[in-house]
Structure 1
């Protein structure tokens, strides 16, 4: 959500977007809200959008991979909440800017491309020849 908000900055826009994102997360299904409140999800990195975007996209993919391995029934709900929050943030102030749309596309791609997580303590899969 923060990357979407930062894509089209402005003081009042940021405030409106923050409220919209919070509402979207609050409206998430209970299981997903519990996941978002709980421990285990990484803290977003700090820095410029250019510095943090790759790390955030990697973290989104890792979160989906973790859910696929530990709570597969929550995967689609998690993806829907993340994308819904991004859309709410983008639409909160004067419509969706092209920069916001581009970030949402990156988020959508990161969520879609996540592979299954390797269970904790298991060796990584052997490379195929």
Structure 2
């Protein structure tokens, strides 16, 4: 496994948890948020070892600041940065990360009464940011 700096780990961790939060925010409501958070956490916990090792430690992820549009832009930019960090290591972790994020965000969207149009729009943006 490649070595990662604390800043690189923070970038990847913030992007992963930010993507889950972004999809969850698209479907408001306490019960929905709870179900979605649990689904996203399970998906991340089931990630390949190389990804879980990057996501562990380093404290809590730092949520983006600003209004909803600024937060969305920060998360999507963070996803692109995270992919760049992982691709620079050339150890296959970028592909694994993309798969984990797509699976986790889909699990979040599916967790409460299926995928709403708002959630699908966010899923599409996440997919584009990972490309």
Question: Aligned partners of 1:72 and 1:97: how far apart in 2?
Answer: 36
Task: Tell me the TM-score normalized by structure 2.
Answer: 0.79
Larger helix percent: 2
Mapped contact 1:3–1:49 kept (Cα < 8 A): no
**Matches of 2:62 and 2:90, distance apart in 1:** 20
Unaligned residue ranges in structure 2 (runs of 5+):
1-19
2:71 aligns with one of 45, 52, 58: 52
**Alignment partner of 1:29 is 2:48:** yes
How far apart are the structure 1 equivalents of 2:21 and 2:47? 18
CA distance, structure 2, for counterparts of residue 51 and residue 76 of structure 1 = 27
Aligned residues: 110
Give the gaps of 5 or more residues in structure 1. Answer: 113-129
Distance 1:38 1:71, change over 3 A: farther
* Largest Rg, 1 or 2: 1
Q: Which residue number in structure 2 is paired with residue 106 of structure 1?
A: 125
Deviates more, 1:60-69 or 1:30-39: 30-39
- The TM-score, its normalising length taken from structure 1, stands at 0.80
CA drift at 1:36: 1.4
Whether the aligned pair in 2 keeps the contact of 1:5 and 1:89 (CA below 8 Å) is: yes
Give 1:43 deviation, angstroms.
2.8
Q: Deviations over 1:93-114 (max 9, x none)?
A: 00000000000100000000xx
Q: What's 1:92 paired with?
A: 111
State whether structure 2 residue 79 is matched by structure 1 residue 63: no
Matching residue of 2:3: none
